[in-house]
């Protein structure tokens, strides 16, 4: 029996995307969403929030998505928590690289706010099949 | 879960906020670009620029600026290529980026309706080349005085208007009506949302919904939202601004009268191309199949498609490489490329898109899905092209664009030996109109002539606004005698049109000069000649069409 997805932590540096994603995931998906503006912030807040799923932007100033992922994996409680990258950065080498890092899927940006929640849900269910 | 209306409101608010910040962002991008040194490589500056453009790519569509995302992605990829060289930019590179930046600015003006589902139902209708411009309008309005006023005003713009004062009358007539644009009030004596309800009723089950414009004294968001849900393409507040209304009606007309979309299909399998061709042709598109990727460039130049469908895996050259090659051609920088493949791996799909593809369709694809993806891609790219090429007041080609078109058409006419006529038109005493009635009325006169030309000429003819009150017309497959006949009829009709300003009626005329390729085999000379004849027409008393009497070029040598 798959756990019901309720808690999502989303790391994204752009405020406008943060707001629209929060609206899409909370209002349409009914999830509880914690949003962090940087990888550092995510590392601090994740242990308290205990997310079941991470959404990570790839291209962020300072610590980028892949680096954030590595540091999260170093924390025992998040060693196996599924991670989805959200990105417009979809160059050939990069996509292959994401998979090697062990992300479960990539959601291309720009995303449709009306479909984001159902996309996340699909990935969650497929991951637990 | 949140109430959908509330969600929509919040979403709309976020989109408005994004839209409000957009000009500032674009200005910033331009500043960073202009500050990059010309003669050396500035890694940091370039990274900043790249990051800012990337952020538009990743956000535009989310906030209703899909076109902006497309153009930004294109620019970003170009920046990526340059970043690999890490050398000072060449003049070509600078110009090219400059061009994409101006496309970016144009694209930022184009915002898709948030309720895109409904909007696309109307706009996404496959264009029907035989469709007449919808000149029939039904006005549903309980206030008979307002209704009559609308009828009179729209009449001046050549629309045939039928008025209904009650929901019941309207309902019964709509049961046996098609091809009409509906203009309706929202509140009726017996039902405060009667207009919306009756529209929902008549649209139900229709494959092609009627274009509907709502007019209302109310401006609450909830009512607007209901109107959009009922399939309204526009919502105008009372008192109705007739200019705005005409613009909306024109945009309905232009989406319904475009030429059929042209799609090129590149796939090594003949069975596959035949199948896709059949599907798309049923949706009234024109297709061309190319089986050998090495022939693509030649076919591109000849067929001039609006969109290219490419099979991802072909023996001689894979689809991704092909897309890269196509994108390197200046004329095809912004043509939509859609990949077709049995590939269902998301990674590979993403890779395909990053290499210049705009969309990815997995085989086998449902015919309906293929048609709608192709349709919406083409529609969006045509909008971008038209933003760049069109005159903003009239929607006609602008000065540069119509000259480019003339070059192209003259070349084509020489190649195939087909006739081609060119006409210059100038509104008589236009300065007087502006001085007497004011510029807004002058603009309306210009628009009415633009519309008359578009309505009366064939879809294949090209019309441009050459200057202030000057128009240029390219009549393909027509000689000067045929052009004279058509344009003189238009001249007579235009002189009968009654324009209105503050309750006063007035009429306007134009003069016209024509020449054709049998006399002048060069675009510049054609323009000069028709301009000269136009001058003669003005001199001979205006309100007339004159034809160049220059001898036929080299006739002796060919006959």
User: Range of A97's domain?
Assistant: 7-122
- At A60-69, the pLDDT tens digits run 888 999 999 9
**CA–CA distance from B556 to each of B421, B519, B547, B548 (Å)?**
21, 13, 21, 19
pLDDT at B344: 58
Give the three-class secondary structure for A8: strand
Interface contact B7-A27, CB threshold 8 A: yes
Task: Classify residue A32: in a domain, yes or no.
Answer: yes
- At B349-377, the pLDDT tens digits run 666 666 556 677 777 777 877 888 888 78
Partners of A61 on chain B (C-beta within 8 Å) are: 51
Give the three-class secondary structure for B73: helix
Check whether domain B128-256 has CATH 3.40.50.2300, yes or no: yes
**Residue in A87, A90, A116 to test binding to B, most B beta-carbons within 10 Å:** A90
pLDDT at B505: 82
- At B522-541, the pLDDT tens digits run 999 999 999 999 999 999 99
pLDDT at B73: 84
**CA–CA distance from A70 to each of A43, A46, A100, A127 (Å)?**
11, 14, 12, 20
pLDDT at A13: 92
Interface contact A110-B59, CB threshold 8 A: yes
Q: Give how many domains chain A has, as a whole number.
A: 1
- Give the percent of chain B with pLDDT over 70: 87
Q: What is the average per-residue pLDDT within A2-19?
A: 91
Q: What is the 3-state secondary structure (H, E, C) of B63-96?
A: HCCHHHHHHHHHHHHHHHHHHHHCCCCCHHHHHH
Beta strands in B384-509 (DSSP E): 420-427, 462-465, 470-476, 499-501, 504-506
CA proximity to A10, closest of A41, A39, A34, A43: A34
How many residues would you count in chain A?
Answer: 129
- With contact defined as beta carbons under 8 Å apart, do A87 and B54 qualify? no
pLDDT at B166: 92
- B348 vs B398, which has greater pLDDT? B398
Distance from CA of B358 to the nearest CA of A (A): 13
- Lowest-confidence region among B3-17, B169-183, B434-448: B3-17
By CA distance, what is A109's nearest residue in B? B58
Distance from CA of B418 to the nearest CA of A (A): 47
- Measured torsion, CA atoms of residues B426, B429, B432, B437, in degrees rounded to the nearest 10: -60
- At B86-113, the pLDDT tens digits run 888 888 888 888 888 888 888 887 776 5
**CA–CA distance from B82 to each of A82, B51, B71, B78 (Å)?**
36, 14, 17, 6
Provide the pLDDT confidence category of residue A33 given band limits of 50, 70 and 90.
very high
- Measured torsion, CA atoms of residues B272, B275, B276, B277, in degrees rounded to the nearest 10: 120
List the 11-30 stretch of B: residues with Cβ below 8 A of A: 11, 14, 17-18, 21
Number of A–B residue contacts, CB under 8 Å:
79
pLDDT at B265: 93
Interface contact B58-A109, CB threshold 8 A: yes
Question: Domain-by-domain residue ranges, chain B?
Answer: 4-107, 128-256, 262-382, 399-558
Longest pairwise C-alpha distance within chain A: 39
pLDDT at B158: 66
CA proximity to B138, closest of B181, B186, B202: B181
Check whether domain B262-382 has CATH 3.40.50.2300, yes or no: yes
- With contact defined as beta carbons under 8 Å apart, do B156 and B447 qualify? no
By CA distance, what is A29's nearest residue in B? B1
Write out the H or E segment, with its range, that includes residue B288: strand B286-290
Find the CB nearest A20 among B54, B62, B350.
Answer: B62
Using the Cβ of B73 and the Cβ atoms of chain A, whether some distance falls under 8 Å is answered with yes
CA distance linking residue B404 with residue B397, whole number of Å? 10
Provide the pLDDT confidence category of residue B132 given band limits of 50, 70 and 90.
very low
Residue B128 has pLDDT above 80, yes or no: no
Token pair for B121: 């139902």
Interface contact B14-A19, CB threshold 8 A: yes
pLDDT at A121: 92
Residue with tokens 């598109």: B285
Instruction: Please calculate the CA angle A66-A69-A74 and round it to the nearest 5 degrees.
Output: 135
Interface contact A96-B69, CB threshold 8 A: no
- With contact defined as beta carbons under 8 Å apart, do B175 and B204 qualify? no
Residue with tokens 């706009």: B123
Provide the pLDDT confidence category of residue B119 given band limits of 50, 70 and 90.
very low
Distance from CA of A17 to the nearest CA of B (A): 7
Check whether domain B4-107 has CATH 1.20.120.160, yes or no: yes
Task: Report H helices in chain A.
Answer: 15-23, 39-49, 65-73, 92-100, 116-127
- B135 vs B126, which has greater pLDDT? B135
- B148 vs B368, which has greater pLDDT? B148
- At B481-497, the pLDDT tens digits run 999 999 999 999 899 88
Residue with tokens 């613009």: B247
CA distance linking residue B340 with residue B267, whole number of Å? 9
Residue B52 has pLDDT above 60, yes or no: yes
- With contact defined as beta carbons under 8 Å apart, do A115 and A93 qualify? no
Looking at the DSSP bridge assignments, the partners of residue B191 are B188
Interface contact B354-A90, CB threshold 8 A: yes
Interface contact B57-A87, CB threshold 8 A: no
Name the range with the highest mean pLDDT among B42-56, B157-171, B246-260, B475-489: B475-489
β-strands B462-465, B286-290: how paired? unpaired
Q: What is the average per-residue pLDDT within A10-14?
A: 94
Token pair for B27: 């200005």
Q: How many CB atoms lie within 10 A of CB A50?
A: 12
- B1 vs B93, which has greater pLDDT? B93
By CA distance, what is B69's nearest residue in A? A110
Name the range with the highest mean pLDDT among B75-89, B142-156, B335-349, B435-449: B435-449
CA distance linking residue B281 with residue B261, whole number of Å? 10
- B468 vs B331, which has greater pLDDT? B468
pLDDT at A69: 95
- B381 vs B113, which has greater pLDDT? B381
Give the three-class secondary structure for B296: helix
Interface contact A23-B17, CB threshold 8 A: no
- At A71-128, the pLDDT tens digits run 999 999 999 999 999 988 776 667 778 888 889 988 988 888 878 888 899 899 988 8
**Domain containing A25 — which CATH number?**
3.40.50.2300
Provide the pLDDT confidence category of residue B155 given band limits of 50, 70 and 90.
confident
Interface contact A17-B355, CB threshold 8 A: no
Q: What is the average per-residue pLDDT within B113-130?
A: 34
Interface contact A23-B59, CB threshold 8 A: no
By CA distance, what is A28's nearest residue in B? B1
CA proximity to B241, closest of B215, B264, B206: B215
- At B427-464, the pLDDT tens digits run 999 999 999 999 988 998 998 899 889 878 887 899 99
User: B319-336 burial, b if ≥16 CB within 10 A, otherwise e?
Assistant: bbebbeebbeeeebbbbb
Partners of A30 on chain B (C-beta within 8 Å) are: 1
Residue B67 has pLDDT above 50, yes or no: yes
Residue with tokens 């007035």: B506
Residue B246 has pLDDT above 60, yes or no: yes
pLDDT at B109: 77
pLDDT at B324: 79
Residue B388 has pLDDT above 80, yes or no: no
pLDDT at B511: 97
pLDDT at A72: 94
Q: What is the average per-residue pLDDT within B287-295?
A: 88
DSSP letter at B398 equals: -
Name the range with the highest mean pLDDT among A74-83, B263-272, B321-330, B353-362: A74-83
Q: Do domains B128-256 and B262-382 have the same CATH topology?
A: yes
How many residues would you count in chain B?
Answer: 559
CATH code that applies to domain B399-558: 3.30.70.270
Q: How many CB atoms lie within 10 A of CB B122?
A: 19
CA distance linking residue B336 with residue B355, whole number of Å? 12
Partners of B63 on chain A (C-beta within 8 Å) are: 16, 20
**Residue in A28, A113, A119 to test binding to B, most B beta-carbons within 10 Å:** A113
């Amino acid at each position: 029996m798959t756990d019901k997805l309720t808690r999502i932590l989303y790391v994204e540096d752009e405020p406008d995307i943060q707001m629209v994603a929060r609206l899409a995931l909370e209002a349409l998906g009914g999830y509880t969403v914690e949003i962090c503006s940087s990888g550092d912030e995510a590392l601090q807040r994740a242990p308290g929030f205990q997310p079941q799923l991470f959404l990570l932007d790839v291209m962020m100033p300072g610590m980028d998505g892949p680096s954030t992922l590595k540091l999260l994996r170093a924390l025992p409680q998040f060693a196996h928590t599924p991670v989805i990258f959200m990105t417009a950065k979809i160059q050939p080498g990069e996509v292959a690289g994401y998979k090697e890092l062990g992300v479960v899927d990539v959601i291309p940006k720009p995303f449709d706010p009306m479909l984001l929640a159902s996309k996340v849900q699909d990935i969650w269910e497929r991951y637990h099949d | 879960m949140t109430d959908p209306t509330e969600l929509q409101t919040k979403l709309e608010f976020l989109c408005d906020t994004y839209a409000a910040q957009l000009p500032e962002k674009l200005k910033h991008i331009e500043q960073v670009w202009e500050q990059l040194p010309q003669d050396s490589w500035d890694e940091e500056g370039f990274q900043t620029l790249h990051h800012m453009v990337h952020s538009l790519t990743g956000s535009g569509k989310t906030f209703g600026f899909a076109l902006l995302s497309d153009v930004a992605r294109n620019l970003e990829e170009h920046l990526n290529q340059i970043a690999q060289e890490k050398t000072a930019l060449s003049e070509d590179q600078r110009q090219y980026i400059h061009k994409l930046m101006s496309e970016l600015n144009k694209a930022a003006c184009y915002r898709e309706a948030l309720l895109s589902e409904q909007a696309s139902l109307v706009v996404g209708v496959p264009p029907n080349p035989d469709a007449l411009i919808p000149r029939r309008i039904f006005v549903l309005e309980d206030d008979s005085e307002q209704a009559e006023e609308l009828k009179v005003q729209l009449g001046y713009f050549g629309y045939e208007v039928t008025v209904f004062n009650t929901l019941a009358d309207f309902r019964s007539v709509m049961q046996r009506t098609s091809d009409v644009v509906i203009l309706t009030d929202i509140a009726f004596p017996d039902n405060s949302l009667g207009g919306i309800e009756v529209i929902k009723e008549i649209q139900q089950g229709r494959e092609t919904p009627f274009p509907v414009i709502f007019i209302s004294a109310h401006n609450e968001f909830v009512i607007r939202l209901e109107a959009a849900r009922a399939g309204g393409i526009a919502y105008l507040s009372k008192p109705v601004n007739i200019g705005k209304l005409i613009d909306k009606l024109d945009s309905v007309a232009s989406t319904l009268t475009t030429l059929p979309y042209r799609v090129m299909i590149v796939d090594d399998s003949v069975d596959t191309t035949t199948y896709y061709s059949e599907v798309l042709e049923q949706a009234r598109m024109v297709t061309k199949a190319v089986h050998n990727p090495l022939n693509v460039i030649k076919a591109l130049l000849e067929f001039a498609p609006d969109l290219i469908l490419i099979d991802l895996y072909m023996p001689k050259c894979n689809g991704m490489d092909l897309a890269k090659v196509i994108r390197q051609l200046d004329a095809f920088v912004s043509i939509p490329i859609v990949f077709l493949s049995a590939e269902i791996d998301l990674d590979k799909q993403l890779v395909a898109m990053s290499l210049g593809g705009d969309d990815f369709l997995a085989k086998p694809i449902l015919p309906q899905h293929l048609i709608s993806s192709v349709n919406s891609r083409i529609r969006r790219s045509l909008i971008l092209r038209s933003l760049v090429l069109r005159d903003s007041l009239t929607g006609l080609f602008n000065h540069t664009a119509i000259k480019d078109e003339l070059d192209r058409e003259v070349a084509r006419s020489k190649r195939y030996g087909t006739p081609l006529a060119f006409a210059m038109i100038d509104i008589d005493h236009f300065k007087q109109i502006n001085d007497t009635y004011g510029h807004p009325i002058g603009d309306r006169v210009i628009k009415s002539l633009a519309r008359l030309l578009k309505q009366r000429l064939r879809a294949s003819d090209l019309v441009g606004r050459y200057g202030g009150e000057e128009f240029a017309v390219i009549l393909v497959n027509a000689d000067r005698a045929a052009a004279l006949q058509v344009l003189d009829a238009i001249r007579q009709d235009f002189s009968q049109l009654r324009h209105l300003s503050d309750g006063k009626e007035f009429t306007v005329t134009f003069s016209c000069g024509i020449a054709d390729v049998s006399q002048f085999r060069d675009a510049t000379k054609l323009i000069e000649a028709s301009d000269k004849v136009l001058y003669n027409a003005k001199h001979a008393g205006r309100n007339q069409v004159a034809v160049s009497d220059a001898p036929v070029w080299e006739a002796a040598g060919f006959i």
